[in-house]
Structures are given as structure tokens and as C-alpha cells.
Homo-oligomer: A and B are copies of this chain.
Amino acid sequence: MPTTPPSTVRLAVSTVIFALRADRAGGPPALWTPLVRRTREPQLGHWALPGGWLPPNEELETAAARTLRSTTGLAPSYLEQLYTFGGVDRSPGERVVSVVYWALLPNDEAARATIGPNVRWVPADTLPELAFDHADIIAYALWRLRTKVEYSEIAHALLGRTFTLAELREVYEAVLRRQLDPANFRRTMLASGGLQETGEHRAGTPHRPPKLYRYAPAATAPGAREPFRPTERTAS
């Protein structure tokens, strides 16, 4: 079916948001993501990633954070550019290039996220049918999260400011979908130097109270592999 080629390119910014949620109280947490219902054509009524057109005077990352806030009412603990999707046939009738970001929300805050008829949280690995290529995009973001957790210290972004080692391990287990040895996990984490004892303990447990830690990135060792975030020039 030959369509008349679009005359312009429109630029959108979308965000894939991840947070941990327990299916049932006390059960192991899993990754969930919020979707919004489209209120315009094309694909009116379909579920889609939060996003919108890029205002000419707004930074890309700021636009991503804004759509995130308007969707969930929360600020992300982690936000990074994922990929730019620009296939000619992504959207019928017009050429849309989407710069997609991905974000992590802290656990305690995510519980009181905005809910409404046009926002819906779904498990990240069993998605409903989505608009455009958004299912592919979420799958890619999930892959990025899962691979990045293995070599980077981002898991803490899914927790609150302080957490126990067992809670941190639960995050890893939810993301990686496999059990980890508590003893070895503890040693690996402490050896990384990225954790700092708060001196406090989690109260209210039916057993020995665990220590609380906070994330405190180690002083960058010479020659260490820093993530190298591209330097974006912010508006003056």
C-alpha cells in the first residue's frame, strides 16, 4: 500500500518507567511499568508509553522527566537515554522520531503513584497490546536494565534512601529473575565499596534486625570504568 511520503519529521520524547511492586503482600516484588491511554488519533484508546512532542526550548532529559512526573506524579531516582527510534513506518501517515529515555522509581514512592482511568500499571514482562512499536521499546529497555544491573550499581535506585542487604538482594532477584546466594551477595556488595552503613537497623522484623545501608559511590579509582555520560550542554 503506497502512502504519500510525509513532508516533515516530528520529534517526540517518550519514557519507559520501571518500579518494583509486590503481586501480593509479602510476596516477592516484580518489575512494573505505567502506561497511558492515548487520547488522540492515531491509535486512540490504545495503551502507550508516556511522552509527547519536544518543545523547541526544552532539554531532552527535562522533557522526559516532565512526562514522567505528569504520569506518575513522582521524580525518578535514575534517568538515562535509551535509544532513538525513527523507523519510517512507525506512525501511520507521519514521520515521527522518538528519543526514548528509561527511568527507575524508588520503591517507597512508587506505592503512591498517580492512578486514574488513563494510567495503568502492568507487569513489565507480560505486556498488553500496545500502540505503535512501544512493546519493542519496553522489551529493549528491560534488556538494558537487566544487563546494566550486572555491571553497574543502579539497583539501589529502585529502593528508598536506606535499605537492608536483603532488600537490595530482592531487587537484583526481581530484575535478574533468579535466586542469589545471600552470603556471597553480601560480600560482593560490601567489597564493591559502594555501600555505607547508616548505623541504624531495620526495626519490626520477627528476627535479628538487619543493618541499614545507604548508597555512597566509591571514590573513583584511577583507571576505573566510569559510565561516561555524554556531556549535554544545559541551557544558560
Other-chain residue from B6, B9, B232, B234 in contact with A11 (beta carbon distance below 8 A) = B9
Cβ of B136 and Cβ of A5 under 8 Å apart? no
Cβ of B57 and Cβ of A11 under 8 Å apart? no
What's the minimum C-beta distance from A100 to chain B, rounded to whole angstroms?
A: 9
The verdict on A57 contacting B95 (CB below 8 Å), with A230-B85, A231-B136 known, is: yes
- With A and B bound together, what is the CA distance between A83 and B230 in angstroms? 8
Number of interface residues of A (CB under 8 A): 40
Cβ of B84 and Cβ of A84 under 8 Å apart? yes
Residue numbers in B under 8 Å from A128 (CB-CB): none
What's the minimum C-beta distance from A127 to chain B, rounded to whole angstroms?
A: 15
Which segment of A66-74, A86-94, A182-190 sits at the interface? Answer: A86-94
Q: Does A58 contact B (CB under 8 A)?
A: yes
Among A1-48, those with CB < 8 Å from B are 1, 5-9, 11
What's the minimum C-beta distance from A95 to chain B, rounded to whole angstroms?
A: 5
Other-chain residue from B57, B60, B140 in contact with A230 (beta carbon distance below 8 A) = B140
Cβ of B56 and Cβ of A95 under 8 Å apart? yes
Task: Name which residue of chain B comes closest to A8, CB basis.
Answer: B56
- With A and B bound together, what is the CA distance between A143 and B230 in angstroms? 10
Other-chain residue from B86, B225, B235 in contact with A88 (beta carbon distance below 8 A) = B235
Other-chain residue from B84, B88, B228 in contact with A143 (beta carbon distance below 8 A) = B228
Cβ of B99 and Cβ of A84 under 8 Å apart? yes
Q: Does A126 contact B (CB under 8 A)?
A: no
Residue numbers in B under 8 Å from A56 (CB-CB): 5-9, 95
- With A and B bound together, what is the CA distance between A234 and B133 in angstroms? 12
Residue numbers in B under 8 Å from A95 (CB-CB): 56-57
Residue numbers in B under 8 Å from A54 (CB-CB): 9, 86, 97
Residue numbers in B under 8 Å from A233 (CB-CB): 87-90, 133
Residue numbers in B under 8 Å from A99 (CB-CB): 84, 86, 97
Q: List 22 A-B contacts (CB under 8 A).
A: A1-B236, A9-B54, A9-B56, A11-B97, A59-B86, A59-B88, A60-B86, A83-B230, A85-B230, A85-B232, A87-B235, A88-B234, A89-B233, A89-B234, A89-B235, A97-B99, A133-B231, A136-B230, A137-B230, A140-B228, A143-B228, A147-B225
